[in-house]
Structure 1
Protein backbone atom coordinates (compact mmCIF):
# COMPACT_ATOMS: atom_id res chain seq x y z
CA UNK A 1 0.00 0.00 0.00
CA UNK A 2 1.40 3.38 -0.94
CA UNK A 3 0.97 6.36 1.32
CA UNK A 4 -0.26 9.40 -0.55
CA UNK A 5 1.30 12.80 0.13
CA UNK A 6 -2.16 14.35 0.44
CA UNK A 7 -3.14 11.88 3.14
CA UNK A 8 0.05 12.55 5.10
CA UNK A 9 -0.58 16.30 4.86
CA UNK A 10 -4.20 15.91 5.94
CA UNK A 11 -3.24 13.80 8.93
CA UNK A 12 -0.53 16.31 9.91
CA UNK A 13 -2.93 19.26 9.67
CA UNK A 14 -5.55 17.36 11.63
CA UNK A 15 -2.98 16.61 14.34
CA UNK A 16 -2.07 20.31 14.49
CA UNK A 17 -5.76 21.16 14.76
CA UNK A 18 -6.13 18.69 17.63
CA UNK A 19 -3.21 20.34 19.43
CA UNK A 20 -4.78 23.77 18.85
CA UNK A 21 -8.18 22.61 20.12
CA UNK A 22 -6.60 21.08 23.21
CA UNK A 23 -4.65 24.27 23.99
CA UNK A 24 -7.61 26.58 23.42
CA UNK A 25 -9.95 24.22 25.25
CA UNK A 26 -7.85 24.10 28.42
CA UNK A 27 -7.60 27.88 28.52
CA UNK A 28 -11.30 28.31 27.80
CA UNK A 29 -12.28 25.92 30.57
CA UNK A 30 -9.93 27.75 32.92
CA UNK A 31 -11.75 31.00 32.10
CA UNK A 32 -15.13 29.37 32.61
CA UNK A 33 -13.88 27.88 35.88
CA UNK A 34 -13.20 31.30 37.37
CA UNK A 35 -16.90 31.93 37.78
CA UNK A 36 -16.49 35.57 36.77
CA UNK A 37 -19.33 36.46 34.37
CA UNK A 38 -17.09 38.20 31.82
CA UNK A 39 -14.45 35.45 31.95
CA UNK A 40 -17.14 32.77 31.57
CA UNK A 41 -18.55 34.54 28.49
CA UNK A 42 -15.10 34.94 26.95
CA UNK A 43 -14.28 31.29 27.68
CA UNK A 44 -17.49 30.09 26.03
CA UNK A 45 -17.04 32.41 23.05
CA UNK A 46 -13.46 31.23 22.51
CA UNK A 47 -14.67 27.61 22.50
CA UNK A 48 -16.90 28.32 19.49
CA UNK A 49 -14.00 28.75 17.06
CA UNK A 50 -12.35 25.36 17.67
CA UNK A 51 -15.76 23.66 17.80
CA UNK A 52 -16.57 25.08 14.37
CA UNK A 53 -13.13 24.07 13.07
CA UNK A 54 -13.54 20.51 14.36
CA UNK A 55 -16.96 20.24 12.71
CA UNK A 56 -15.64 21.49 9.37
CA UNK A 57 -12.60 19.22 9.46
CA UNK A 58 -14.78 16.21 10.33
CA UNK A 59 -17.01 17.04 7.37
CA UNK A 60 -14.00 17.24 5.04
CA UNK A 61 -12.59 13.94 6.31
CA UNK A 62 -15.97 12.28 5.73
CA UNK A 63 -16.09 13.67 2.18
CA UNK A 64 -12.50 12.64 1.47
CA UNK A 65 -13.04 9.09 2.70
CA UNK A 66 -16.27 8.75 0.72
CA UNK A 67 -14.64 10.13 -2.45
CA UNK A 68 -11.82 7.60 -2.03
CA UNK A 69 -14.34 4.75 -1.65
CA UNK A 70 -16.14 5.98 -4.78
CA UNK A 71 -12.84 6.10 -6.68
CA UNK A 72 -11.99 2.57 -5.53
CA UNK A 73 -15.43 1.37 -6.60
CA UNK A 74 -15.11 3.02 -10.03
CA UNK A 75 -11.54 1.72 -10.44
CA UNK A 76 -12.75 -1.80 -9.69
CA UNK A 77 -15.27 -1.44 -12.51
CA UNK A 78 -12.78 0.24 -14.85
CA UNK A 79 -14.83 3.45 -14.88
CA UNK A 80 -12.53 6.02 -13.30
CA UNK A 81 -12.36 9.35 -15.14
CA UNK A 82 -9.39 9.40 -17.47
CA UNK A 83 -7.35 12.60 -17.75
CA UNK A 84 -6.62 12.41 -21.46
CA UNK A 85 -7.60 15.93 -22.48
CA UNK A 86 -5.10 17.82 -24.64
CA UNK A 87 -2.95 20.33 -22.81
CA UNK A 88 -1.05 23.47 -23.67
CA UNK A 89 2.76 23.46 -23.42
CA UNK A 90 2.28 25.06 -19.98
CA UNK A 91 0.13 22.13 -18.83
CA UNK A 92 -3.30 23.79 -18.91
CA UNK A 93 -6.16 21.73 -20.27
CA UNK A 94 -7.42 22.90 -23.66
CA UNK A 95 -10.58 24.89 -23.01
CA UNK A 96 -12.56 23.54 -25.98
CA UNK A 97 -11.72 19.94 -25.05
CA UNK A 98 -12.73 20.59 -21.43
CA UNK A 99 -16.01 22.14 -22.56
CA UNK A 100 -16.72 19.15 -24.80
CA UNK A 101 -15.99 16.70 -21.96
CA UNK A 102 -18.20 18.77 -19.67
CA UNK A 103 -21.16 18.58 -22.07
CA UNK A 104 -21.01 14.79 -22.19
CA UNK A 105 -20.67 14.56 -18.38
CA UNK A 106 -23.59 16.94 -17.86
CA UNK A 107 -25.71 14.93 -20.31
CA UNK A 108 -24.91 11.74 -18.38
CA UNK A 109 -26.16 13.40 -15.16
CA UNK A 110 -29.31 14.61 -16.93
CA UNK A 111 -29.93 11.07 -18.21
CA UNK A 112 -29.32 9.49 -14.77
CA UNK A 113 -29.87 12.16 -12.09
CA UNK A 114 -29.60 9.63 -9.24
CA UNK A 115 -26.29 8.17 -10.43
CA UNK A 116 -23.46 8.93 -8.04
CA UNK A 117 -20.98 7.77 -10.70
CA UNK A 118 -22.31 10.28 -13.24
CA UNK A 119 -21.98 13.09 -10.69
CA UNK A 120 -18.46 11.92 -9.83
CA UNK A 121 -17.52 12.20 -13.53
CA UNK A 122 -19.27 15.60 -13.69
CA UNK A 123 -17.10 16.81 -10.79
CA UNK A 124 -13.96 15.98 -12.75
CA UNK A 125 -15.37 17.66 -15.85
CA UNK A 126 -16.01 20.82 -13.79
CA UNK A 127 -12.47 20.60 -12.47
CA UNK A 128 -11.05 20.30 -15.99
CA UNK A 129 -13.09 23.38 -16.93
CA UNK A 130 -11.44 25.16 -13.94
CA UNK A 131 -14.68 25.54 -11.98
CA UNK A 132 -13.51 24.25 -8.60
CA UNK A 133 -16.59 25.44 -6.68
CA UNK A 134 -18.99 23.46 -8.86
CA UNK A 135 -16.60 20.51 -8.96
CA UNK A 136 -16.67 20.33 -5.18
CA UNK A 137 -20.47 20.66 -5.11
CA UNK A 138 -20.77 17.82 -7.65
CA UNK A 139 -18.46 15.66 -5.51
CA UNK A 140 -20.60 16.39 -2.45
CA UNK A 141 -23.73 15.42 -4.43
CA UNK A 142 -22.02 12.23 -5.62
CA UNK A 143 -20.99 11.36 -2.06
CA UNK A 144 -24.52 11.97 -0.77
CA UNK A 145 -25.96 9.68 -3.46
CA UNK A 146 -23.26 7.09 -2.81
CA UNK A 147 -24.04 6.97 0.90
CA UNK A 148 -27.80 6.94 0.21
CA UNK A 149 -27.28 3.91 -2.01
CA UNK A 150 -25.76 2.14 0.99
CA UNK A 151 -22.34 1.94 -0.61
CA UNK A 152 -20.43 2.92 2.50
CA UNK A 153 -18.05 0.00 2.76
CA UNK A 154 -14.94 -0.29 0.61
Structure 2
Protein backbone atom coordinates (compact mmCIF):
# COMPACT_ATOMS: atom_id res chain seq x y z
CA UNK A 1 0.00 0.00 0.00
CA UNK A 2 1.38 3.41 -0.97
CA UNK A 3 0.94 6.72 0.78
CA UNK A 4 -1.58 9.07 -0.76
CA UNK A 5 -0.03 12.02 -2.58
CA UNK A 6 -0.16 15.43 -0.94
CA UNK A 7 -3.04 17.62 -2.04
CA UNK A 8 -2.25 19.42 -5.28
CA UNK A 9 -3.49 22.73 -3.93
CA UNK A 10 -0.83 22.79 -1.20
CA UNK A 11 1.98 22.10 -3.64
CA UNK A 12 0.70 24.73 -6.05
CA UNK A 13 0.71 27.32 -3.28
CA UNK A 14 4.30 26.56 -2.31
CA UNK A 15 5.47 26.55 -5.93
CA UNK A 16 3.76 29.91 -6.53
CA UNK A 17 5.24 31.40 -3.36
CA UNK A 18 8.75 30.23 -4.25
CA UNK A 19 8.40 31.45 -7.84
CA UNK A 20 7.16 34.88 -6.75
CA UNK A 21 9.92 35.13 -4.15
CA UNK A 22 12.50 34.26 -6.83
CA UNK A 23 11.09 36.91 -9.21
CA UNK A 24 11.10 39.46 -6.43
CA UNK A 25 14.69 38.55 -5.58
CA UNK A 26 15.71 39.21 -9.20
CA UNK A 27 13.91 42.55 -9.12
CA UNK A 28 15.57 43.50 -5.82
CA UNK A 29 18.97 42.53 -7.23
CA UNK A 30 18.42 44.70 -10.33
CA UNK A 31 17.31 47.68 -8.23
CA UNK A 32 20.33 47.26 -5.95
CA UNK A 33 22.61 47.08 -9.01
CA UNK A 34 21.18 50.36 -10.34
CA UNK A 35 21.53 51.91 -6.88
CA UNK A 36 25.24 51.06 -6.78
CA UNK A 37 25.66 52.52 -10.27
CA UNK A 38 23.96 55.76 -9.18
CA UNK A 39 26.21 56.00 -6.12
CA UNK A 40 29.19 55.42 -8.41
CA UNK A 41 28.39 58.58 -10.40
CA UNK A 42 29.83 60.67 -7.59
CA UNK A 43 27.17 63.33 -8.03
CA UNK A 44 25.09 64.43 -5.06
CA UNK A 45 21.73 63.59 -6.59
CA UNK A 46 23.01 60.24 -7.90
CA UNK A 47 24.37 59.32 -4.47
CA UNK A 48 21.13 60.37 -2.75
CA UNK A 49 18.99 58.36 -5.20
CA UNK A 50 21.36 55.41 -4.98
CA UNK A 51 21.19 55.31 -1.19
CA UNK A 52 17.40 55.60 -1.31
CA UNK A 53 17.24 52.74 -3.81
CA UNK A 54 19.47 50.58 -1.59
CA UNK A 55 17.17 51.06 1.40
CA UNK A 56 14.12 49.78 -0.50
CA UNK A 57 15.67 46.39 -1.45
CA UNK A 58 16.92 45.88 2.10
CA UNK A 59 13.45 46.60 3.46
CA UNK A 60 11.90 44.19 0.93
CA UNK A 61 14.37 41.45 1.90
CA UNK A 62 13.57 41.90 5.60
CA UNK A 63 9.82 41.76 4.93
CA UNK A 64 10.13 38.67 2.73
CA UNK A 65 12.25 36.88 5.34
CA UNK A 66 9.72 37.80 8.03
CA UNK A 67 6.83 36.36 6.01
CA UNK A 68 8.67 33.14 5.18
CA UNK A 69 9.65 32.64 8.83
CA UNK A 70 6.03 33.15 9.88
CA UNK A 71 4.83 30.69 7.22
CA UNK A 72 7.33 28.07 8.39
CA UNK A 73 6.30 28.48 12.02
CA UNK A 74 2.59 28.37 11.15
CA UNK A 75 3.25 25.06 9.38
CA UNK A 76 5.13 23.74 12.42
CA UNK A 77 2.24 24.76 14.67
CA UNK A 78 -0.26 23.07 12.32
CA UNK A 79 1.85 19.91 12.34
CA UNK A 80 1.92 19.88 16.15
CA UNK A 81 -1.82 20.44 16.38
CA UNK A 82 -2.46 17.74 13.78
CA UNK A 83 -0.25 15.28 15.67
CA UNK A 84 -2.26 15.98 18.83
CA UNK A 85 -5.55 15.82 16.86
CA UNK A 86 -6.29 19.46 17.79
CA UNK A 87 -6.21 21.10 14.37
CA UNK A 88 -9.15 23.53 13.92
CA UNK A 89 -12.00 22.00 11.96
CA UNK A 90 -13.73 24.10 9.34
CA UNK A 91 -17.32 22.98 9.80
CA UNK A 92 -19.03 26.33 9.31
CA UNK A 93 -22.08 26.46 7.04
CA UNK A 94 -21.41 27.70 3.52
CA UNK A 95 -23.43 29.17 0.72
CA UNK A 96 -23.80 27.19 -2.52
CA UNK A 97 -20.88 29.21 -3.93
CA UNK A 98 -18.66 28.05 -1.04
CA UNK A 99 -18.54 31.27 0.97
CA UNK A 100 -18.62 30.95 4.74
CA UNK A 101 -21.82 32.18 6.38
CA UNK A 102 -20.54 35.33 8.15
CA UNK A 103 -23.20 35.22 10.88
CA UNK A 104 -22.22 31.65 11.77
CA UNK A 105 -18.53 32.61 11.69
CA UNK A 106 -19.13 35.50 14.08
CA UNK A 107 -21.10 33.24 16.41
CA UNK A 108 -18.33 30.62 16.35
CA UNK A 109 -15.73 33.33 16.97
CA UNK A 110 -16.80 34.31 20.51
CA UNK A 111 -15.69 31.08 22.27
CA UNK A 112 -12.21 31.35 20.72
CA UNK A 113 -11.81 34.91 21.92
CA UNK A 114 -12.97 33.94 25.42
CA UNK A 115 -10.44 31.09 25.49
CA UNK A 116 -7.61 33.47 24.60
CA UNK A 117 -8.78 35.96 27.23
CA UNK A 118 -8.76 33.15 29.81
CA UNK A 119 -5.23 32.02 28.89
CA UNK A 120 -3.38 34.55 26.71
CA UNK A 121 -0.12 32.61 27.02
CA UNK A 122 -1.35 29.55 25.09
CA UNK A 123 -0.24 29.62 21.45
CA UNK A 124 -2.77 26.93 20.55
CA UNK A 125 -5.65 29.20 21.54
CA UNK A 126 -4.17 32.10 19.56
CA UNK A 127 -3.80 29.81 16.54
CA UNK A 128 -7.47 28.82 16.70
CA UNK A 129 -8.46 32.47 17.25
CA UNK A 130 -6.55 33.42 14.09
CA UNK A 131 -8.61 30.99 12.04
CA UNK A 132 -11.82 32.21 13.69
CA UNK A 133 -10.90 35.78 12.70
CA UNK A 134 -10.16 34.57 9.18
CA UNK A 135 -13.52 32.80 8.89
CA UNK A 136 -15.24 35.96 10.14
CA UNK A 137 -13.51 37.90 7.35
CA UNK A 138 -11.07 39.90 9.49
CA UNK A 139 -7.77 39.12 7.77
CA UNK A 140 -5.66 41.75 9.54
CA UNK A 141 -6.63 40.50 13.01
CA UNK A 142 -6.19 36.91 11.85
CA UNK A 143 -2.62 37.72 10.82
CA UNK A 144 -1.93 39.54 14.10
CA UNK A 145 -3.26 36.55 16.07
CA UNK A 146 -1.05 34.20 14.02
CA UNK A 147 1.97 36.38 14.75
CA UNK A 148 1.15 36.22 18.47
CA UNK A 149 0.73 32.44 18.27
CA UNK A 150 4.10 32.22 16.52
CA UNK A 151 5.83 34.36 19.17
CA UNK A 152 4.39 32.18 21.91
CA UNK A 153 5.23 28.99 20.03
CA UNK A 154 8.84 30.12 19.75
CA UNK A 155 8.83 30.99 23.47
CA UNK A 156 9.11 34.75 23.13
CA UNK A 157 5.92 35.68 24.98
CA UNK A 158 2.84 37.56 23.89
CA UNK A 159 1.91 41.20 23.94
CA UNK A 160 -1.19 40.26 25.90
CA UNK A 161 -3.46 42.40 23.73
CA UNK A 162 -6.12 40.85 21.60
CA UNK A 163 -6.00 42.03 18.00
Q: TM-score, normalised by structure 2?
A: 0.86
Question: Which residue in 2 is equivalent to 1:126?
Answer: 133
Provide structure 2 residue ranges, at least 5 long, that are not aligned to the other structure.
158-163
Distance 2:70 2:11 in 1: 17
Question: Which residue in 2 is equivalent to 1:140?
Answer: 147
Offset at residue 98 of structure 1 (A): 1.1
Offset at residue 90 of structure 1 (A): 2.1
Greater relative contact order (CA < 8 Å, ≥ 6 in sequence): 1
Question: Which residue in 2 is equivalent to 1:57?
Answer: 64
Provide structure 1 residue ranges, at least 5 long, that are not aligned to the other structure.
none
Say if 2:102 and 2:137, in contact at 8 Å, map to a contact too.
no
Number of equivalenced pairs: 150
- Root-mean-square deviation (CA), in Å? 1.7
The answer to whether structure 1 residue 108 and structure 2 residue 115 are counterparts is yes
Runs of 4+ in structure 1 deviating by more than 6 angstroms, as ranges, are none
The answer to whether structure 1 residue 68 and structure 2 residue 95 are counterparts is no
The answer to whether structure 1 residue 28 and structure 2 residue 41 are counterparts is no
